[in-house]
Amino acid sequence: MRAVAAALMMIAIAAVGATAQDGPGLPELRAVWVDAFHHGIRSPAEAAQLVADAQRTHVNTLFVQVRRRADALYTGGLEPPLDDPSYDPSFDALAHIVSAAHAAGLQVHAWVNAMPVWRDEAPPKDARHLFNQHGPAAAGERCWLTRMRDGTRRFPVGYFLDPGHPAACDHLVAVCLDIVRRYDVDGLHFDYIRYPETEGAPLPRGADVGYNQVSVARFQRAYKRARAPLPDDEAWTRWRREQITSLVRRISIEARAIKPRLKVSAAVVAWGPPPASARDFENASPMQRVFQDWRGWLEEGLIDLAVPMNYAREHDERGREWFDGWIAWEAKHKGDRQLAVGVGGYLSAPEGVLAQISRVRSAAREARADGVSLFSYYQPSMEPVMPEQPAAAQGAASASQAQPAGAPPPPAPDRLDYLVRGAAGAPAAFTGPAPVPAMAWIDAPAHGALAGSIAGGAGALADRRTVRIRQAGPPHETRTITSDASGWFGAARLPPGTYQVQLEDARGKPIGPRKLVRVAAGAVARVTLAAR
């Protein structure tokens, strides 16, 4: 069976190799995820190694993880620094990698793990950590964690914030905007911007997650329910999707108000069998298991780039079939935004990864992905080879200690170099440098956005208020939007012009004075409405 699988893989490589587009001058996103659990940006030596490796392998974009679990790989932030023996909390890893990467012509996106808070049994050492302040020991509204119906708060991926809790969302918004405001990053990259997956086989519809008492109370008030909803309740499913999308909308619009040319992207779920159509996405794992409507985010213009995590073992027939089905669907349904396929480089041999990259490039003739991102930069071969010394000392040595001060970082030919040299008969993927694809809607914007707030409101008075916006002239754009629990509301992709902004009641009757606001292309307009 292994021989047959290998033969099929080589046939696939040969079949698509001729159509794979690669070479100097052809735009293509070539990214790597650089996680904070391993070598990457935690020291100047690690950052130098990363930049050298990216240049050598013709990678042009780095997704660098700067928030792992409610902590920071940068200084002066709103959360405590990463507690790791390999990281000096006084070292601003984000500032350093931005400077080093930009000098080398690389783009840097700040990778933020949005909802994870903690995973270990022992709590964080820093008393300021969210887990200690708003974790399992916190009572009532002070607990920001999501949970199952029976009260279970720990999931297979650990403890998660609940996006239905207003205070948790406010905090995450503040963290993200702080990064955008203080660092010259090219993009903000979300990960885990979703609910956690649950253990065991998934339910036919919905999932047993999202039962933070504040979120449930908000749902009951909005839908006039006396009891908590069941996991497969369709209204409850829509509610949980809305909480995630509302958070993405708020961060995206407010981040662009600070930095209009910022690229907003997300690593998104692409589990299980691929959708059969655009409508069938409703039934796929992102929508039903973790309530992540990333296709809707692309359509609404909330993210500029989706990076579906199409992690599949190339030697597994079903995994290969699902991979091919997802990447074909993704290329056809990215809309007028960009999509790069996330490849699980750790799951296959180098020739298998090369085969997957080649198929990404030729997935559909009428539509094509804009590139790939590899998970991940780290491989076991990155561990330094130490000179003879006692075993205890070997375990404590770091990458920076393994090299003389100022020495150039050594290459790691068994890690990513197969991308430029090929492997086991499979041709190289990146034979020369490639520019990052341009985003016309950022470079020459034709739309603007609106951000608003409801003044004088708190809690139920501000939550889920209906706001209607009408354009005064052609094309007479009209939208009905809803405020979040903090009274914030917003709309993206608005044609430039003057808009009437009005609060309405449940019957569509105007409430209070109408406001006029001017929306300009490439800018975020602001308006404040009074709660009544």
CATH number of 445-530: 2.60.40.10
CATH fold group of domain 2-442 = TIM Barrel (3.20.20)
Per-residue pLDDT reduced to its tens digit, 455-479: 876 678 899 999 999 999 888 889 9
User: Cα–Cα distance between 461 and 147 in angstroms, integer?
Assistant: 26
User: Cα–Cα distance between 373 and 86 in angstroms, integer?
Assistant: 25
Contact 46, 401 (CB under 8 A): no
- 411 vs 431, higher pLDDT: 431
Q: State residue 504 phi and psi, 5-degree precision.
A: -135, 155
User: Cα–Cα distance between 327 and 324 in angstroms, integer?
Assistant: 5
pTM of the full predicted structure?
0.90
Domain boundaries, the chain: 2-442, 445-530
CA angle 162, 164, 169 (to 5 degrees): 75
Q: What is the pLDDT of residue 401?
A: 31
Q: What is the pLDDT of residue 459?
A: 75
Q: DSSP secondary-structure letter at 246?
A: H
Q: Which helix (H) or strand (E) holds 206?
A: none
Six token digits for residue 222: 């909005």
User: Cα–Cα distance between 301 and 269 in angstroms, integer?
Assistant: 18
Per-residue pLDDT reduced to its tens digit, 295-353: 999 999 999 999 999 999 999 999 999 999 999 999 999 999 999 999 999 999 999 99
